[in-house]
Amino acid sequence: MGRRPRAVRLALPATIVAILTFVALWRVTSPTVPATGGSSQREPLAPLTRIVEVLTQNSIGRQASLEKVVIREVVSPRALWIGEDDQRVFVVLDPDVKNLSGVATSPGARVTLIGLVRAAPAENEAIAQWGLDAATAKAVHDRGTYLHVTEIIRPRG
């Protein structure tokens, strides 16, 4: 028995490497479909646009864009109440709030507020952070949420 030609000896390992390469590339490039049949990524939620939506516990962490809301009461330089008596939302202005149009934050003014809904802090934290009185801090805590505003805009029309 003679020796096999060199080409025959190299063909078997080369074939195995080619098959493994093909399988690896096929696995990497094949799209995977989730078991539910839907997309694996969630679409971002649209910003909340109504005051009543900001008041719910499941709105924490969501963006909000409230147009033409009425400022009811200014509690401190950074804190105020907006909305109607039965649907009031506590608002805290970010220290770096964008107020490019110079909108006055005085009672009765109509403004558009853009921000993030957050969970209300404990009463003592609200008093320390925002300079609130005890009654206001309790009211904020009892409501459960507040709007942290990053931008104030003069409403159109």
**pLDDT at position 91 over 80:** yes
**pLDDT at position 156 over 70:** yes
The pLDDT, as a whole number, for residue 114 is: 93
- Rounded to whole angstroms, how far apart are CA atoms 145 and 60? 7
- Rounded to whole angstroms, how far apart are CA atoms 60 and 57? 6
How far are the Cα atoms of 14, 30, 95 from residue 24, in angstroms, in the given order?
Answer: 15, 10, 53
CB atoms within 10 A of CB 132: 22
The pLDDT, as a whole number, for residue 118 is: 94
Summarize the confidence of residues 92-115 as an average pLDDT: 85
Fold of 51-153: OB fold (Dihydrolipoamide Acetyltransferase, E2P) (2.40.50)
Q: Is the CB of residue 80 less than 8 Å from the CB of residue 132? A: no
**pLDDT at position 85 over 80:** no
Ranges of beta strands (E only) in 45-153 are: 63-76, 79-84, 87-98, 110-119, 145-153
Q: Which residue has the higher pLDDT, 141 or 97?
A: 141
The pLDDT, as a whole number, for residue 12 is: 80
The fraction of the chain above a pLDDT of 70, given in percent, is 83
The pLDDT, as a whole number, for residue 87 is: 87
* pLDDT tens, residue by residue, 58-81: 899 999 999 999 999 999 888 999
CA 101 centroid distance within chain: 25
* pLDDT tens, residue by residue, 130-140: 999 999 999 99
Distance linking the first and last C-alpha atoms of the chain: 98
Summarize the confidence of residues 16-35 as an average pLDDT: 74
Kindly list the domain boundaries of the chain, sorted by start residue: 51-153
